[in-house]
């Protein structure tokens, strides 16, 4: 009996030694609870730890993102070999692994242009720390710097939001300028940012009605009015809305390519913050493209084939950036 107990103790000691020496790291690497979406990475249903012990859920506050190259054969050892990563697993961190995709909207918003890359985010998927490549010091850089930056942003946002809302009551014009500044640096998922956007919408409602009246007088007058609005409100919702209206006025005046370029610019805005405006830009692009297709069809129906080809070549340039532009290029061949 004594021999059996000693043997069991020896086995446990050896197992601990193997783990301490790093021979268990391959298994540890499997402990990283990678999720495949921001929503899943930000939740924790509890479960069991490496030793099979029951673990209570932990409130997640940050997300560690690994953007992996498509040709990756195995997960980098720098994760499992990093004490900060192992500690973060049972802390306020969620873990997200994404395949690199230059067309992915979120990765574009983060400014990820190559892989591998690491990103430190808040729970809403806003990036605060980005590092390119994988090395032993990169994971700690993300894990150690992200929390302070997130907390600083949240504190500053609350203070500036309260200041802006108080100022709007006494001086709407100056308060609106502060609201614009908050929206320009605002991040998705924060109530203060969405409230700022809503308040700007209220403040600018009369301004847009005046713009409609100006446009009714003449497209030129309306264009001048909305041009001023885009300069004041820039990439906030009212500014993006003014850009879309201005693009439609440009198209009505025959300035097709400038109109398309305005809409393509709005279409690239972060849809997480400006979904209505991005959708409106896409709809306007479709309308302009349909108008181009109608002109292409009319040209093709004409009796003079040489003239039709010349017209279609011009339409291809005018409607570049739309489906009509592609159709015109095909028809001109």
Residue-wise pLDDT tens digits, 144-186: 999 999 999 999 999 999 999 999 999 999 999 999 999 999 9
* Same domain, yes or no: 147 and 18: no
pLDDT of the residue at 234: 94
> What pTM, to 2 d.p., does this model score?
0.78
Domain assignment of residue 253, yes or no: yes
CA pair distance 65, 34, nearest whole angstrom: 9
For residue 270, the number of C-alpha atoms closer than 13 Å in the C-beta half-sphere is 20
Q: Are residues 238 and 265 in the same domain?
A: yes
Q: Which residue segment(s) compose the domain that 20 sits in?
A: 1-25
Question: In the prediction, which pLDDT does 90 show?
Answer: 86
Domain check: are 181 and 315 in the same one? yes
Tell me how far apart the alpha carbons of residues 125 and 188 are, in angstroms, rounded to a whole number.
8
- Confirm whether 165 is domain-assigned: no
- Looking at residue 279, its pLDDT comes to 97
Helix or strand or coil: residue 91?
Answer: coil
User: Which CATH number goes with the domain that contains 101?
Assistant: 3.40.30.10
Stated as kind and residue range, the H or E segment containing 97 is strand 93-99
My answer on whether 177 and 237 are in the same domain is yes
The answer to the question of residue 109 being in a domain is: yes
β-bridge mates for residue 130, sequence order = 119
The answer on 176 and 139 residing in a single domain is no
Same domain, 189 and 149: no
Residue 18 is predicted with a pLDDT of: 42
**22-27 CB contacts, 8 Å cutoff, 24+ apart:** 22/81, 25/77, 25/80, 25/81, 26/80
Number of structural domains in the chain:
3
Q: What is the pLDDT of residue 20?
A: 43
pLDDT at 46 (0 to 100)? 52
In a domain, 160, yes or no: no
Confidence (pLDDT) at 7: 47
In this structure, is residue 304 part of a structural domain? yes
Q: Which of 259, 262, 251, 265 is nearest to 219 (CA)?
A: 251
> Quick one: angle between helices 237-252 and 275-300, nearest 10?
10
Same domain, 8 and 144: no
Same domain? 280 vs 181: yes
* Tens digit of pLDDT at every position of the chain (333 positions): 445 444 444 444 444 444 444 444 444 444 799 999 999 998 865 555 555 555 567 789 999 999 999 999 889 999 989 999 999 998 999 999 999 999 998 999 999 999 999 999 999 999 999 999 999 999 999 999 999 999 999 999 999 999 999 999 999 999 999 999 999 999 999 999 999 999 999 999 999 999 999 999 998 999 999 999 999 999 999 999 999 999 999 999 999 999 999 999 999 999 999 999 999 999 999 999 999 999 999 999 988 888 888 999 999 999 999 999 999 999 888
Cβ-contact 172, 203 below 8 angstroms = yes
- Say whether both 222 and 95 belong to one domain: no
Q: Looking at the DSSP assignment, which residues form a beta bridge with residue 119?
A: 65, 130
Q: Which residue, 63, 25, 28, is CA-closest to 44?
A: 63
Q: Residue 158 falls within a domain, yes or no?
A: no
Tokens representing 46? 């509890």
Do residues 289 and 229 both lie within one domain?
yes
Cα-to-chain-centroid distance, residue 286 = 23
DSSP 120: E
Tokens 């040489």 locate to 306
Q: Residue 54 has what pLDDT?
A: 57
| Whether residue 218 sits in one domain with residue 112 | no
Does residue 273 share a domain with residue 227?
A: yes
**What's phi and psi for 120, nearest 5 deg?**
-105, 120
Q: Of 61, 204, 178, nearest to 128 (Cα)?
A: 61
Instruction: Give dist(CA 98, CA 69) in Å, integer.
Output: 9
92-124 pLDDT, tens digit each: 999 999 999 999 989 999 999 999 999 999 999
Tracing tokens 């398309």 back to the chain, one arrives at: 260
């Amino acid at each position: 009996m004594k021999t059996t107990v000693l043997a069991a103790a020896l086995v446990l000691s050896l197992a601990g030694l193997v783990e301490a020496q790093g021979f268990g790291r391959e298994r540890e690497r499997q402990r990283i609870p990678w999720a495949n979406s921001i929503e899943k990475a930000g939740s924790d249903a509890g479960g069991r730890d490496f030793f099979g012990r029951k673990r209570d859920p932990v409130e997640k506050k940050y997300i560690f993102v690994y953007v992996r190259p498509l040709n990756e054969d195995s997960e980098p050892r720098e994760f499992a070999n990093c004490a900060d990563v192992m500690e973060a697993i049972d802390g306020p961190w969620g873990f997200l692994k994404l395949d690199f995709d230059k067309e992915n909207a979120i990765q574009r918003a983060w400014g990820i242009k190559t892989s591998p890359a690491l990103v430190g985010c808040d729970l809403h998927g806003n990036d605060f720390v980005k590092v390119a490549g994988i090395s032993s010091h990169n994971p700690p850089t993300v894990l150690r710097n992200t929390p302070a930056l997130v907390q600083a942003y949240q504190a500053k946002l609350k203070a500036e939001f309260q200041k802006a809302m108080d100022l709007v009551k006494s001086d709407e014009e100056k308060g609106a300028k502060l609201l614009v500044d908050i929206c320009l640096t605002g991040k998705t998922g924060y109530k203060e940012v969405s409230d700022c956007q809503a308040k700007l919408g209220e403040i600018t409602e009369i301004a847009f009605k005046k713009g409609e009246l100006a446009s009714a007088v003449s497209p030129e007058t309306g264009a001048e009015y909305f041009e001023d609005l885009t300069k004041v409100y820039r990439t906030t919702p009212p500014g993006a809305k003014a850009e879309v209206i201005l693009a439609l006025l440009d198209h009505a005046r025959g300035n097709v390519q400038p109109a398309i370029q305005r809409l393509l610019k709005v279409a690239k805005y972060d849809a997480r913050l400006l979904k209505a405006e991005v959708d409106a830009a896409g709809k306007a692009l479709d309308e302009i493209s349909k108008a181009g297709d109608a002109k292409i069809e009319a040209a093709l129906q004409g009796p003079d084939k040489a003239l039709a080809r010349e017209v279609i070549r011009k339409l291809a340039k005018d409607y570049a950036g739309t489906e009509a532009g592609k159709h015109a290029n095909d028809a001109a061949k």
